[in-house]
Chains A and B, each alone.
Chain A
């Protein structure tokens, strides 16, 4: 059974500070890991899809790493800006009978001016 855990649930960060949060998943059934950003009144939007152990991906000030052997991924935001305020969702796609995209509960990020 796929279970995706995200922490923290909510986070307040001062504008300009850097931050990171965690996604944990069962390492035994890994196929691909997704990060999405979900802004209020918009659709979730994909940030990264990662498949290989040790993968690191970057988009502007946001980057992510993946450790499939221990079952975790980190999302980093450097120099937070107000537009970074959103819910960040981690999702796992498993193997075989778990070949579907399952989401964690998300980390809600609030950037304080």
Chain B
């Protein structure tokens, strides 16, 4: 297993288009997180899953954002009707949630540019 992988690494889209990102976590990891990072900020929490169950979605996230993890393995994040303000780095992380001291492992992110 080579770690968390995200696809694509870069995406340029026109305003109003829909985009979908994929995250493949480390295979035995049951938790999966999505974050968004903009310049000068830390990773902002978007949503997370325990296996296939979506436990929480950030209140800051509009209805244009949706995430799924249908079989408790890979996850997709879809943004509908993209806006320029959606331009950011989208990070996925996974962890094995069995102990207090479990760290999260990150993918390299998908950089979205909305033009």
A112 CA to B41 CA, complexed, in Å: 23
Contact with A along B28-62 (1 / 0, CB 8 A): 00000101000011111100100000011000000
- Total contacts A to B, CB within 8 angstroms? 58
Chain B residue with Cβ nearest A57: B101
Q: Which residues of chain A come closer than 8 Å to B95, judged between CB atoms?
A: 101
Residues 73 to 115 of chain B near chain A (Cβ within 8 Å): 91, 93, 95, 100-109
Contacts of A106 in B (CB 8 A): 41-42
Within 8 A of B (CB), among A5-43: 6, 31-32, 34, 42-43
Distance from B12 Cβ to chain A, minimum over Cβ atoms (Å): 18
B16 to chain A, nearest CB (A): 30
Interface centre among B44, B48, B55, B93 (most CB of A within 10 A): B93
A-B contact pairs, 7 of them (CB 8 A): A32-B102, A34-B104, A46-B104, A50-B101, A51-B100, A51-B101, A100-B33
A residues with CB within 8 A of B: 4, 6, 31-32, 34, 42-46, 49-51, 89, 91, 97, 99-106
